[in-house]
Amino acid sequence: MRLQCQFFALLLLASIAHADVFYSGNLAIGLDSNSLNAGETLKGKALVTNFESAAFNDASVILEIVSGKKGSLGYPSQFSDEGEVILEKEIDGRVDAKGQRTIPFEITLPKNLTAGTYTLDAYYRNGRAPISGIAHIFSSPESAEFEVRGTGGALPHINIVRTATQFNGQTGPVGSPAAANSDIGGKVYVRNSSAKSEAVTVWAGMCDWDDTLCSGFLSQDSKEIVIEAKGLGAAGLALKAPALPGAYAIRIEARSKSGEMLSLYRNRLIVTGPTAKIWHLDIGSQKLEPQKGAKITAMVGPTPDHFTFPELKDFEVRVWVEGDGSRVYGGSQKIGSLAARDEAMLLGFDFAPKSAHSSFRVCSSVEKDLVQLDLYCFDVSPIEDSAPVPQGGRIDVKSDYAKSSGTLRLEVCGFGPDGNPDTLDASLALSELEGGAAVRQARISGENCHMDFVRVDEQTRYLLIVDDFRNHTQVSRELLFGETQLSCNTQGGVVCEDFQTCKGKRIEAVDTGACCMGSCSGSQPQKQVFSQGFLPEPKSDNTLLLAAGLFVVIIVILKIISGRNDEKWGAEQ
Q: How deeply is 567 buried, as exposed, middle or buried, from its count of CB atoms within 10 A (0-12, 13-18, 19+)?
A: exposed
What percent of the chain shows pLDDT beyond 90? 62
Q: Which of 411, 377, 540, 399 is nearest to 477 (CA)?
A: 399
Asked whether residue 455 carries a pLDDT value surpassing 70, the answer given is yes
How confident is the model at residue 572, as a pLDDT? 31
Q: What is the pLDDT of residue 154?
A: 87
CB 200 within 8 A of CB 161: no
pLDDT tier at 482, thresholds 50, 70, 90: low
List CB contacts of 550: < 8 A, sequence separation 6 or more.
Answer: none
Task: With a cut of 90, say whether residue 507 has pLDDT above it.
Answer: no
Name the band, by pLDDT with cuts 50, 70 and 90, for residue 270. very high
Q: What is the pLDDT of residue 176?
A: 95
Give 560's DSSP letter. H
pLDDT of 487 > 90? The answer is: no
Q: Which CATH architecture has domain 276-380?
A: Sandwich (2.60)
For residue 433, the model assigns a pLDDT of 73
Which of 26-35, 132-141, 149-158, 266-275 has the least mean pLDDT?
A: 149-158
Q: Determine the Cα–Cα distance for residues 471 and 465; give it in Å rounded to an integer.
A: 15
- Arithmetic mean of pLDDT, 445-453: 93
The pLDDT value recorded for residue 501 is 64
CB atoms within 10 A of CB 96: 22
Q: What's the chain's Rg over C-alpha atoms?
A: 25
Strand residue runs (E) in 82-140: 85-92, 99-108, 116-125, 130-132
pLDDT, tens digit (0-9, with 9 covering 90-100), for 338-352: 999 888 999 999 999
Taking alpha carbons only, the member of 477, 456, 484 closest to residue 20 is 477
**pLDDT at res. 459:** 80
Look at residue 267 in the predicted model and tell me its pLDDT.
Answer: 97
106 near 36, Cβ under 8 Å? no
* SS3 at position 204: strand
> CATH for 391-479, among 2.60.40.10, 2.60.40.1930, 1.10.1200.10, 3.40.720.10?
2.60.40.1930
Q: Determine the residue type at 40.
A: E
Residue 530: predicted pLDDT: 30
What's the pLDDT tens digit per position in 359-402? 999 999 999 999 999 999 999 999 988 998 776 788 989 888 88
Q: How far apart (Å, rounded) are the C-alpha atoms in residues 5 and 75?
A: 9
Q: In this structure, how many other beta carbons lie within 10 angstroms of the beta carbon of residue 375?
A: 13
What's this model's pTM, rounded to 2 decimal places? 0.72
* DSSP summary character for residue 128: S
pLDDT number for residue 17: 34
- Min mean pLDDT across 88-92, 285-289, 290-294, 417-421 is at 417-421
Domains 1-156 and 391-479 equal at CATH topology level: yes
- Please, are residues 242 and 149 in contact by the beta-carbon 8 Å criterion? no
pLDDT, mean over the chain: 84
User: In whole angstroms, what is the distance from residue 78 CA to residue 80 CA?
Assistant: 6
Can you point out the beta strands (E) in 342-472? Answer: 345-351, 360-368, 371-380, 387-388, 394-402, 407-415, 425-432, 438-445, 449-455, 462-468
Residues 192 and 154: their CA atoms lie apart, in Å, by: 11
- Report the sign of the C-alpha dihedral through residues 570, 479, 483, 9, in that order: positive
- Residue 491: the pLDDT is 57
**CB within 8 A of 422, min separation 6: which ones?**
393, 414, 415, 416, 448, 470
Predicted local confidence at residue 505, as pLDDT:
57
Q: Determine the pLDDT at residue 250.
A: 98
544 pLDDT exceeds 50?
no
How many angstroms from the chain centroid is the CA of residue 424? 30
Category of 328 on φ-ψ map: left (φ > 0), alpha (ψ -120 to 50) or beta: alpha
Percentage of the chain modeled with pLDDT above 70: 80
The domain spans of the chain are 1-156, 276-380, 391-479
Q: Is residue 490 predicted with pLDDT exceeding 70?
A: no
Q: 539 Cβ partners below 8 Å, 6+ apart?
A: none
User: Domain 1-156 belongs to what architecture?
Assistant: Sandwich (2.60)
Q: Is the pLDDT of residue 295 over 60?
A: yes
User: Which of the four pLDDT bands, split at 50, 70 and 90, describes residue 212?
Assistant: very high
